[in-house]
Amino acid sequence: MKMQYCSIISKNLSAKNTCCVEYTIMQPLTSSQMFKRFVLACLLTTVSCLILAAIFLRITGVPPTYPPLLPQQIISGTIGGAFLVWLGYALLSAFINNQTVLARTVIMLGIVLTVASFYLPYRLTYTTSPRFEGVTVAAQVAQGFLHAVVVGLSLFCFLRRDVR
């Protein structure tokens, strides 16, 4: 749905000299737009989380070989997280036509699933695997924060609307 917002700068100006801004309000995304936003989400989350993981690896007191903060796991987690947001958005948009309701539903689902994903870092508290030896509470909080960054940036990419 396209809308026009026009404001007349002065009463003396003709209609040609008015300032008109045309913008889109909550227009559904096409599949190519969704793919572009998925790629954007992958780029933003991967770069952000790689930087954060390098910082967290130094300040959390875990060994340098701590798996959840290594680049391979960060890259797979960010791409996988962005893919799950894309999949969820695509599936929900197939059933929900009202774009405002869709946005609210995706946000609520994102919050619920992010909170549920905090179980993964918590699970490391009682794991006996030697791979995760040296886990600290700070490392668990850092992993939860990285989950929130992936979901937050991915949701931003899919729910932002272009203003024209």
Q: What are phi and psi of 7, to 5 degrees?
A: -130, 135
The residues, ordered by sequence, that sit 6+ positions from 113 with a Cβ below 8 Å of its Cβ are 84, 151
- Residue 56's pLDDT band (cuts 50, 70, 90): very high
The pLDDT of residue 162: 59
For residue 16, pLDDT over 60 is answered with no
Q: What are phi and psi of 46, to 5 degrees?
A: -65, -50
Q: Which tokens belong to 148?
A: 């929130």
- What SS3 class is residue 20? strand
Average pLDDT, the chain: 81
Separation of alpha carbons 107 and 89, rounded Å: 10
Where along the chain do its domains lie?
A: 29-159
pLDDT mean over 75-91: 94
Separation of alpha carbons 149 and 128, rounded Å: 28
Using a pLDDT cut of 90, give the percent of the chain over it: 43
Looking at per-residue pLDDT, the higher value among 24 and 42 belongs to 42
The pLDDT of residue 10: 41
What are the residues facing 35 on neighbouring strands?
Answer: none
Residue-wise pLDDT tens digits, 93-138:
999 988 889 989 999 999 998 888 888 778 777 777 777 777 788 8
The one-letter code for the residue type at 11 is K
Using a pLDDT cut of 70, give the percent of the chain over it: 82
The pLDDT of residue 21: 44
* pTM for the whole structure: 0.75
Q: Helices 137-159 and 71-95: crossing angle, nearest 10°?
A: 40
Q: In the chain, what is the straight-line distance between the N-terminal and C-terminal CA atoms, in Å?
A: 13
**Sole residue written with tokens 């992993």:** 143
